Amino acid sequence: MRITELFDNGEFVVTAEVGPPKGIHVGHLVDEAKEYLSGITAVNVTDNQSSVMRMGSLPTCVALKNVGLTPILQLTCRDRNRIALQSELLGAAMLGIENILCLTGDHTKMGDHPGAKPVFDLDSVSLLHTACQLEKGVDLSGQALVGEPPKFAKGAVVSPCSNSVDAQLVKMERKVMAGAEYFQTQAVFDSEKFIRFMEKAKQFGKPVQLGVIIPKSAGMAKFMNNHVAGVHVPQRMIDALAADKERAKAGITGVEIAAQIIKECRPYCQGVHIMALGWEAKVPEVLKLAGI
C-alpha cells in the first residue's frame, strides 16, 4: 500500500519510526512494532541514523512487512553512490516495499565510525529525481530497465521550525520539483511556528506530516536545542520536564507535551509522524491523548 493513496483520499496519515538493531536479531523490534504500532498507517525504518552503524533499513522493512505492517524505507545518500542507491530502490520494489523517504543523511563524523569516508554522490533532491527516473523505466545513465518499472510513494523531509524559513521553503520547492509526493517534518515543539510555516507551504499542494518527538527529560530537550538543527524546545516545556523528574522519567510529561502539539497542529497538516526514540510503547498513549 502506497501511503500517497491515503493522502489522496483525505485520510489523516499516522506513522512512527523505529531503528534497526546493532546486530542481526530483530525479534524484539518486530514484536514491539506489532504490539504498539499495528494500529497506525505505516512504520518508518531509519537508515544508519545519526551515522551510527546498524542493520540495514531494507531487511528490517521486510521483517515488518512479513508480520503485516506497512514499512517506509528511509534511504540516505551518505553511504552509497548512485549505482548502489538505484540498486537498493530496485531491490525494495522487488520485495514489495512501496513507500520511501529520501534523505541526504548526517555526516559520518557525527557517528560511531568518524573515520569512514562519506559518499554523498547524490543528495535528497537528486535521489528523488532518481526514483522518478526508475519509475519511468530508465536508470540515471539512460539505460532502459527490464520489465515493468517500480512505483513508489516518494517522501522527503522539511524543517518548519528552522531559523531560516525561507531557505526551507526553497528546499521544499526543489524537492517537490524533483518528485516528492509527501513530506515528514523535523521534530516540532513550537506549534505557532509550524502553523506559520504551513500557511506558506500550502502553496506546494503536497501533504505534510507533523513530526513529533516524545521528550524524555529536560536534559534531552536542552541537548536538542544545542545540537539538532531545526529543532527548538521552548523553555516552558523544559521547565515542565524538570519540574517533576519522576513524572518525566515515566514518560507522562513527554506524552502530554507530544499530544498537545498534535492537537494544536492537526488542523494544519495531513498527518503526524512520531519519532519515539525507543518509547514505541508510548505511541498509543500519545495518539489517544491527542484524540486520534
Question: Using one digit for the tens of pLDDT, what is the confidence trace for 245-261?
Answer: 889 888 999 999 999 99
Q: What is the pLDDT of residue 140?
A: 98
Q: pLDDT (tens digit, 9 = 90+) per residue, 76-112?
A: 999 999 999 999 999 999 999 999 999 999 999 999 9
Please give, one letter per residue, the 3-state secondary structure of the chain.
CCHHHHHHCCCCEEEEEECCCCCCCCHHHHHHHHHHHCCCCEEEECCCHHHCCCCCHHHHHHHHHCCCCCEEEEEECCCCCHHHHHHHHHHHHHCCCCEEEEECCCCHHHCCCCCCCCCCCCCHHHHHHHHHHHHCCECCCCCECCCCCCCCEEEEEECCCCCCHHHHHHHHHHHHHHCCCEEEEEECCCHHHHHHHHHHHHHHCCCEEEEEECCCCHHHHHHHHHHCCCCCCCHHHHHHHHHCHHHHHCCHHHHHHHHHHHHHHHHHCCEEEEECCCCHHHHHHHHHHHCC
Q: pLDDT (tens digit, 9 = 90+) per residue, 14-59?
A: 999 999 999 999 999 999 999 999 999 999 999 999 999 999 999 9
Q: What is the pLDDT of residue 228?
A: 84
Do the bridges between strand 99-103 and strand 13-18 make them parallel or antiparallel, or are there none, so unpaired?
unpaired
Domains of the chain, with CATH numbers? 3-216+261-281 (3.20.20.220)
Q: What is the pLDDT of residue 230?
A: 81
Q: What is the pLDDT of residue 245?
A: 85
What's this model's pTM, rounded to 2 decimal places? 0.95
Flag whether pLDDT at 232 surpasses 90.
Answer: no
